[in-house]
Amino acid sequence: ESEGDRQEREHFWRVVNAFRYYRAYALERVRRAERELRALPPAHRRLLRDAALPGHLQCVRARVEHNQELLHDIILGTAEHMFENKRYRPLALEAEPTPATAFDMDKLKSTLKQLVRDWSSEGQGERDSCYRPILNAIQTYLGAGPRVLVPGSGLGRLAWEIARLGYSCQGNEFSLFMLFTSHYILNRCHEVDSVRLYPWVLQFSNTRRAWDRVRPVLVPDVDPSALPPGADFSMSAGDFLEVYSLDMDVWDCVATCFFLDTAHNVIAYIELIWKVLKPGGVWINMGPLLYHFENMVGESSLELSYDQIRQVIVQVGFVFEEENECVHATYTENERSMLRYIYDCVFFVVRKPA
């Protein structure tokens, strides 16, 4: 086994462990709330009697248990069936998970929220603001039957929507949190609203109503297998810069959504997008510049402003067809939270001259 293979295997099982550790992680947060409640002066506890806080925390516990069952379902079979070119030993669920890092647990909580964004009715408004401009541009700028690549495809909804329009589409994703969950949704969920989850159950701040914390969300809002006959839709796993490094003049369109800021060096992304596009091909982008590796210890990160990125895009050779520097969008938003982040995204369409 090479060093690279060993690191890949260890990372795979680290992510699997995070999925399995959710219950222990989440219940410790509930116990902390229970300890705070018990530590209150008796007079303060009496004031909360009508709020039924102990009963609410029991409800939170039950929701956590349900989420853990879902997360177990997601990782069941991943080791044996998910990757065409990799096989790992079967998952031993009887062994206790080990404590996962705070970073991995944040990724896992984010993945549950991604299910809302990509595959629930509640996420439709967010998809309309982020995906609809890309889908409209594809239909405007592409002819019939082209090949579309979606790097950073997350849980796969944008790529799926492109395939549903009749285009040959491949999504690419690096995160195993996303890959495990997209594989589950795309391959094992065939009934609308058949899966229940509680994505906000650990959101203890900015909650207007206690029920909002424990309310369910149902996924998927469509049958992912219900693509038109002959649809060409696939997902690839791995780093965009590595997986497509040998592609040249292959794709008619590259569609990126909330992707550019995932780069260590965004210029490398731009150069590879140029390389993989056919002459006359278009790159459609939507997203902010919240650089993922900024201030992360041990990680390189080049943080360019949009005007600097635009200059690079032009110097590489792209020609701007369309540009809007202020498209409002949210990302995995809880529609009932008292706190909302709104991004002023950049949307553009550029063409590689024929």
CATH number at residue 231: 3.40.50.150
Q: Which residues contact 83 (CB under 8 A, 6 or more apart)?
A: 237
pLDDT tens profile 83-141: 655 666 655 655 789 999 999 999 999 999 999 999 999 999 999 999 999 999 999 99
Please tell me what DSSP assigns to residue 173: E
Task: Locate all alpha helices (DSSP H) within 76-170, ordered by sequence.
Answer: 78-81, 102-119, 124-130, 132-141, 157-164
236 is in which domain, residue-wise?
Answer: 3-351
First to last CA, the chain: 45
Query: Over pLDDT 90: what percentage of the chain?
Result: 88
Q: What pLDDT is attached to residue 170?
A: 99
Model pTM above 0.85:
yes
Structure tokens at 160: 């799926």
Number of domains present in the structure of the chain: 1
Q: Whats the size of the chain, residue-wise?
A: 354
- Given a cut of 50, the residues of the chain with pLDDT beneath it are none
What are phi and psi for residue 83, nearest 5 degrees?
Answer: -105, 135
Please provide the average confidence, as pLDDT, over all residues in the chain.
95
